[in-house]
Structure 1
Amino acid sequence: MFFLIQNHIDWPSFLARHDMTWSVKPISWDEGAFIGNGMIGAMVYSEEHRDKRNVLRFVLGRTDVTARKPGGGYPPRVPVGELHLELVGWLYQPLSIRVDLWNAELCAEITTTVGTVKVRAFVHSVDMTLAVELETSEEEAGAQMQWYAFSEVDGVLKNADGKNLNQYIPQAEVTRHTLEDMTVGLQQFSPQGGCTTIWKEERNAKEPNRRILYLTIANGSEESVQEQACAVIRKAASQSWETWVESHRSWWHDYYQQSFVSIPDTMLEGFYWIQMYKLASATRADGMIIDNQGPWLAPTPWAGVWFNMNVQMSYSPVYTSNRLHIGESLVRAFRENFDHLPGNLPEAYRADSSGLPRSCSYDLINPVGTEIGNLTWICHNLWRQYRYSMDAKLLEELLYPLLKRSVQYYLHLLEEGDDGKLHLPPTVSPEYGSFLQMTVPDTHYDLALLQWGCETLLQSSEILGLQEEEAAIRSRWSETLERLVPLPVDETGFMIGRDQPLEFGHRHFSHLMALFPLHLISGDNENERELIVRTLRHWFSMEGDLRGFTFTSAASTAAALGEGEEAHSYLKSFMHLIKPNTMYKEAGPVMESPLAAAEAIQDMLLQSWGDTIRVFPAIPSEWAEAVFHDLRTEGAFLVSAVRSAGATSWIRIKSLAGQPCRIQTGMIGDIGISGGEAAQLRQLANGVCELGLEQGQEVILYAKIDNVTSAPGAEQLANNEQWKIEPVPADSHLCGYFGSRKPWRLYGLPIKS
């Protein structure tokens, strides 16, 4: 079309303002520099102990490396070892480390007590290879890169990381040998499992102070695994260095440009883009489920996959950010392990039901206890993957049969009460009263998930044309919705369950599921809104157990109510709980909370639950300017919008699937439309419009004021002016805020950026 959006984004410059930076050496996982390619990763930091001040650690990880425990249970993830840059002198201050987001590379300039070293490191975006490039001064020519199995890492360094007594660490037999010009490090775990690390260092006689190390990690220690890993290194090292680096960068450049967000809160904007970097560093379409650590395993009690919140929240930002390929790793896991899920339930239910435990390994096998809603919640993520893509094959082949089996387990457990209503037996509402092993009948968590499941199955069966074929079970779903006991409520708001009010601090939002993330209620009418606000206030009146994900879910809840100031306050509070490198940690490292905070930022800019797209639905007053481009919504629409001087200037909507489009613009007065001659615009009340868009068609909406457009309209377009997407100006003091801890930058001190 003639009004194509003009992209004024200088991507390298824009992302550079949010690079993670260190001028003081990081000395822990909490502030390390992280790199990864969705399977292999490294957390990079140093050590303060005088015996190890010359070491820069690359704490390595490969997501799929697990080990069987002698006593049974699911196989947890285990550490795989470290690569150490052992310098001649001590690492000294000052130094400079930067994670270059645009190129997904770590760059460092290190001054030691005897010389200097330049380091560039990245995990190749396509090849399973970590590359470390060194340039040393003459005094540091003796610096060495050494690999250590986890069991060989010096106790001084392990002490710095701490030890979690709940974490299983297998006994490992470690051997080394050479193969061609490569070194092979084997770890054979007892009683089962193993890991192979292979590396090769290259030097050029013309550049004696420059060298490159290529390293790969493979799951398993068999000879065939070793051969495959050697082929990976051989392929990487055989290519021109410049060409190979460019192929790495190209993937990331394409990835970032799938959507764009810029807001006037520079710290939150930087945090958002680091989460986009973190997502693609943690998994890929063909990668593993995002677990609690991603490829940066550290001492933890949670060396597995958790489904009572963690996985669901970790994937929450992929949908609106138009990065559905990241969500494919979750889809793939459930496709491949579909047949494992019935076995998690008691035998009596396996014929027609499936379940998902609180935690397990990547095979999704572990018995389901009294926390029974986790599979239905995962189906909500898969539903979002479907709704944002409109991939009918996903709905038919995976989501519908999986959700059907998940809901069927609930139906087996329903009992008729004296009131004639259908009730659920005592179950766990995630994270509430865990130390008491508390179960509660008719939990909000399970009732909300069951309601959502039945409604979604009815809708899905219609989409798939199964009304007649599935008539009997459709009748059961409808009857369940009609007779299901209402969500328990008291004077404080939504309760945990029947006869169980919220009596003490509760970090989880399991008693608010009906609003977020399921959106069964909208808060559009006064009674609903009052109930939600009452619940939110009571929840936060108890400070006993507020954690990171408490604030992110509260931010998304407030955003769903259109409360931008409150949502912003929750997010700003959350910024005090994360680590300097934007990671998050409780008893161990966990991935979900920062990623869920990215979704909360998206929820302030764009929402599409229900049947309506909402543009800038929860913007705080101080965000007079904001812009996003190619964010995705339910119904498979790409939406771009610009907010200027406190008002929406224009909105671009592109239909990818030809679905009905209902959009709340937030614009005041008459709304103009440009482009899409066949598109029909029907303006309703409160700035809501209905648009008839064919697949591939796009239009721009803009506010008319006394027949004068508040943004470039048809008159300007006729003169070949275009609609512009460009970043909001940044606060220079808050650029490069993350990496090392820099709280003084919040207060405008004269720091050179």
Structure 2
Amino acid sequence: MTERPSGMRSKVDWQSFLGKHDPLWTVKPVAWEEGAFIGNGRLGAMIYGEENRAGRGSLRFVLGSTEVTASAPDDVGSAIRVPIGELVLKLSGWIYQPLEIRLVLWDAEIRAELTTTRGKVRLRAFVHAVEPVVVVECDTDEGEKDARLHWYPYPEIHPVHLQTDRDYVNPYTPPIVVERSEERGVSVGVQSYDREADEGCVTAWQELTRRHTGGRDEVKELEDQDQEQKDQDQEDMEQEQGCRSSSEIGCTESRVCFLTVYRGVSSSARTEAIETVQKAVRSHWDSWLNVHRRWWHDYYPRSFLSIPDTRLEGFYWIQMYKLGSAMRSDSLVLDNQGPWLTSTPWPGLWFNMNVQMSYSPVYAANRLDLGQSLIRGLRKHKEQLVRNVPEHCRHDSAGLGRSGSYDLNIPVEEEVGNLTWLLHSVWRHYRCNLIDELLRDTLYPLLRRSVGYYLHLLEEEGDGQLHLPPTVSPEYGSFAKLKVADCHYDLALLRWGCETLLDACERLKIEDPLQEKWEDVLTRLAPYPTDETGFMIGRDVPLAFGHRHFSHLLAVFPLHLLRGEEPGERELILRSLRHWVAREGDLRGFTFTAAASIAASLGLGNEANAYLQTLLHMITPNTMYKEAGPVIETPLAAAEALHDMLLQSWDGTIRVFPAVPDAWRDCSFHDLRAEGAFLVGAVRRGGNTVLVRIKSMAGEPCLVRTGWTGAVQAKTDSGIVALEPTEGVVRIALQAGEEALLFPDGEMPDFSIVPVADDPRMHHFYGGRKPWRLYGLPIE
């Protein structure tokens, strides 16, 4: 047997690998769904221009803050997101051709070269990864020397721009009073919604010049600088270097604007905003920029995957960028918009699917810190979850209605199971790190109360079974307010909740007086209603028309209560899946992400891939997603569906390459996270899995389904041992911190993780719309 290096090694040149997937615009983006986006979990900006005559010389940085909300009238709901305005780069000429705008994923910044009818502009923009500051830097040639940045509060945005953006208006935008001032050299704009409630926001910014001296950069105020003095030789070099930033290509000086937004209109909010800008201005530029880049350069390598579908691979990595731009561990719960608010009927949080799907990719992607924002929100508002249920249930129950704001003040009505489903996301988080404090202090007590509310609703009927009264199955007959008894959605969540509580008692060594009740529920709970088409919505209610939601399939996905392992179960799941997607009346993007995950759970890689390919036709050019308005969960859930094709870990078993399409002959991934707190890597070559690496983070029992039929070799620090699979599953004992490299009996493979071969025509597919690249046209 040939000796190979002792451990699996990642040989990924991250800058080059991500660089081929950088979204690229060679035509000016002119709408939200085409824009380039930047963010840091709190602040964000969507960058695009306009096609109307009044705006052809403008590039808009439409600002967003996840923290800025207003109290809405009673007929709308609780506090909702509010648009805050924009920073506009006004040019002397019209933006023309050629141009290039690139979102550099590796550095998380926009770099652009704009040609206008008067001259050229080079631009860089980013939201600092750690500080709440938006940065826009630009330099111009002589023809565009008068280009300037202007801040517009929301009420002062050009009416033409507002009309363009308002395909679907917000359900409520408060009256806004705008005040402007300048304090300590910082421009300040205050937008007040309700002064007594301290509702509104403060925007503070300062525009400076940055002189590049070959060593430390100097930042000085605009009025102290002569903007017209430029070195012609340096300018010629800039022309040759394209879109690199001014400091990187030797430009003598550039303009830079530092901007922040704070919630509230009090003097303290104003002071904090001003001091944030001043701190950024005083910082050493290169050091400050490197803090931003270092965060992102640490973020991406937490996990890796590469597939031979270059377009889908690029889409996936843009979603990883999107997650890092939209979430932080200490940010608010991710809502339907993230930091890129635009006109929408959904300016808040929806808990009957959206939040759960938005968080779904963070677990396998090994980015659990981002998922802490959900846990933090539940911990902070756990008393409100109790107040959401009727008063007579509050001694032992909690719940969450359909939609509302970050305070979770959303009383439960006929849609009962949303909190239970949300806690399934927390359970996934726990299962991926096995930190018992999370289970004991947060998950267990909240799940106990969530199931407790169901126990108040259960009714014993003449058949001796426990039944649920009529409730709502999310999205089915919503406008008719259709309610069904023994709703699949609720039966599945109640069953999952009882099973999980019993597992938690065993894990935590708890003797709970309700254990006997939970066991009785599992024994006597009514079965999921079915008919000749598969799973029904509920008792006596078949799936008779288009249904975009998978609420009637929740027992299959994501709960995995039904796994296709019992007699007839697989056929039932498959029949239900295909009947569902055949009802075309109301299918949406997230329909296909769930369908892909369900197909993957059955090992149907070709079918799962077909659903994802269908979805890609519904994604906007910048990988966002719109229905009646933008919602963020669908593209993020597609990233999770891709995880499900490469790695699954429910039911205590790690499944490696469980649903790979036939066309994906070569695949690789590294440090995807599996339940049981395992980091998993694997390599597939020529249609065969050649290597699997498992690292245990908690010392749990390790069961791995590799797809190999013969003997398996396991290389650990102790040496190489032979393992015999049992029913296709390899069992290996690992202590916390130990790892094993598994490979088929025979020659030891190369333990290197590298990207698979790609299709250069699919490089930079996203950004501007480029459908012609899909059809084999002779494009270089």
- TM-score by structure 2 length? 0.93
Please say if 1:55 is aligned against 2:58.
yes
Please say if 1:440 is aligned against 2:481.
no
Structure 2 residue aligned with 1:39:
42
Match of residue 744, structure 2, among 703, 710, 731: 703
Match of residue 157, structure 1, among 161, 182, 207: 161
* Distance in 2 between residues matched to 1:609 and 1:681, nearest whole Å: 26
Please say if 1:473 is aligned against 2:501.
no
Q: CA deviation at 1:680?
A: 7.6
Amino acid at match of 1:622: A
* Distance in 2 between residues matched to 1:207 and 1:674, nearest whole Å: 64
* Comparing 677-686 and 112-121, the one that deviates more: 677-686
* Distance in 2 between residues matched to 1:601 and 1:435, nearest whole Å: 32
Please say if 1:403 is aligned against 2:409.
no
Structure 2 residue aligned with 1:530:
571
What do the CA deviations read for 1:323-343 (whole angstroms, capped 9, x no partner)?
Answer: 000100001000111111111
The percent of aligned pairs where both chains have the same amino acid is: 55
Structure 2 residue aligned with 1:691:
732
Structure 2 residue aligned with 1:718:
none
Match of residue 287, structure 1, among 324, 331, 346: 331
Contact (CA 8 Å) 1:606, 1:613: kept in 2 or not?
A: yes
TM-aligned CA distance change 1:2 to 1:646, over 3 Å: closer
* Distance in 1 between residues matched to 2:655 and 2:722, nearest whole Å: 16
* Distance in 2 between residues matched to 1:118 and 1:560, nearest whole Å: 48
Structure 1 residue aligned with 2:538:
497
Match of residue 261, structure 1, among 265, 289, 305: 305
Please say if 1:84 is aligned against 2:112.
no
* Comparing 664-673 and 618-627, the one that deviates more: 664-673
Alignment of 1:348-747 (within 5 A): 348-467=392-511, 470=512, 472-677=513-718, 682-704=723-745, 708-709=746-747, 711-712=748-749, 723-747=751-775
Structure 1 residue aligned with 2:21:
18
* Distance in 1 between residues matched to 2:542 and 2:696, nearest whole Å: 45
What do the CA deviations read for 1:614-644 (whole angstroms, capped 9, x no partner)?
Answer: 0000000000000000000001000000000
* Distance in 2 between residues matched to 1:169 and 1:126, nearest whole Å: 30
Amino acid at match of 1:62: S
Amino acid at match of 1:202: L
Contact (CA 8 Å) 2:709, 2:725: kept in 1 or not?
A: no
Q: CA deviation at 1:747?
A: 1.7
Tell me how large the CA RMSD over aligned residues is.
1.4
3-state SS of 1:243 partner:
helix
Alignment of 1:8-407 (within 5 A): 8-71=11-74, 73-190=77-194, 192=197, 193-203=199-209, 204=211, 205=225, 210-407=254-451
Q: CA deviation at 1:695?
A: 0.5
Contact (CA 8 Å) 2:711, 2:725: kept in 1 or not?
A: no
Contact (CA 8 Å) 1:345, 1:368: kept in 2 or not?
A: yes
Contact (CA 8 Å) 1:681, 1:690: kept in 2 or not?
A: no
* Distance in 2 between residues matched to 1:186 and 1:680, nearest whole Å: 68
Contact (CA 8 Å) 2:773, 2:779: kept in 1 or not?
A: yes
Amino acid at match of 2:155: S
Q: CA deviation at 1:93?
A: 2.0
* Distance in 2 between residues matched to 1:656 and 1:665, nearest whole Å: 20
- How many equivalent pairs are there? 736
Contact (CA 8 Å) 1:59, 1:82: kept in 2 or not?
A: yes
3-state SS of 2:176 partner:
strand
TM-aligned CA distance change 1:509 to 1:348, over 3 Å: same
3-state SS of 2:279 partner:
helix
* Distance in 1 between residues matched to 2:588 and 2:494, nearest whole Å: 27
Q: CA deviation at 1:703?
A: 0.7
TM-aligned CA distance change 1:679 to 1:501, over 3 Å: farther
3-state SS of 1:478 partner:
helix
Amino acid at match of 2:97: Q
Amino acid at match of 1:57: R
Amino acid at match of 1:739: G
Q: CA deviation at 1:676?
A: 3.2
* Distance in 2 between residues matched to 1:139 and 1:638, nearest whole Å: 55
Q: CA deviation at 1:449?
A: 0.2
TM-aligned CA distance change 1:748 to 1:671, over 3 Å: same
Amino acid at match of 2:652: D
3-state SS of 1:133 partner:
strand
Amino acid at match of 1:155: P
- TM-score by structure 1 length? 0.96
* Distance in 1 between residues matched to 2:257 and 2:180, nearest whole Å: 17
Amino acid at match of 1:688: V
TM-aligned CA distance change 1:681 to 1:313, over 3 Å: farther
TM-aligned CA distance change 1:80 to 1:640, over 3 Å: same
Q: CA deviation at 1:207?
A: 6.6
Q: CA deviation at 1:71?
A: 3.9
What do the CA deviations read for 1:315-361 (whole angstroms, capped 9, x no partner)?
Answer: 00000000000100001000111111111111111111001010010
3-state SS of 1:253 partner:
helix
* Distance in 2 between residues matched to 1:169 and 1:452, nearest whole Å: 40
Contact (CA 8 Å) 1:128, 1:216: kept in 2 or not?
A: yes
Amino acid at match of 1:574: L
Contact (CA 8 Å) 1:679, 1:691: kept in 2 or not?
A: no
* Distance in 2 between residues matched to 1:199 and 1:120, nearest whole Å: 17
What do the CA deviations read for 1:703-740 (whole angstroms, capped 9, x no partner)?
Answer: 12xxx32x42xxxxxxxxx5101001110000100011
Contact (CA 8 Å) 1:448, 1:513: kept in 2 or not?
A: yes
Match of residue 777, structure 2, among 740, 745, 749: 749
* Distance in 1 between residues matched to 2:437 and 2:337, nearest whole Å: 31
3-state SS of 1:120 partner:
strand
3-state SS of 1:727 partner:
coil
* Distance in 1 between residues matched to 2:283 and 2:227, nearest whole Å: 18
Q: CA deviation at 1:525?
A: 3.4
* Distance in 1 between residues matched to 2:608 and 2:376, nearest whole Å: 33
- Deviating runs (4+, > 6 A) in structure 1? 678-681
Contact (CA 8 Å) 1:628, 1:642: kept in 2 or not?
A: yes
What do the CA deviations read for 1:204-230 (whole angstroms, capped 9, x no partner)?
Answer: 437756210000000111110111111
* Distance in 1 between residues matched to 2:289 and 2:432, nearest whole Å: 33
* Distance in 2 between residues matched to 1:568 and 1:179, nearest whole Å: 56
Structure 2 residue aligned with 1:717:
none
3-state SS of 1:600 partner:
helix
3-state SS of 1:83 partner:
strand
Amino acid at match of 1:160: T
Q: CA deviation at 1:241?
A: 1.4
Structure 1 residue aligned with 2:244:
none
* Distance in 2 between residues matched to 1:440 and 1:275, nearest whole Å: 36
Unaligned runs of 5+ in 1: 713-721
Unaligned runs of 5+ in 2: 212-224, 229-252
* Distance in 2 between residues matched to 1:448 and 1:45, nearest whole Å: 44
3-state SS of 1:171 partner:
coil
What do the CA deviations read for 1:62-105 (whole angstroms, capped 9, x no partner)?
Answer: 00100012447301010011000001111112210010000000
TM-aligned CA distance change 1:430 to 1:679, over 3 Å: farther
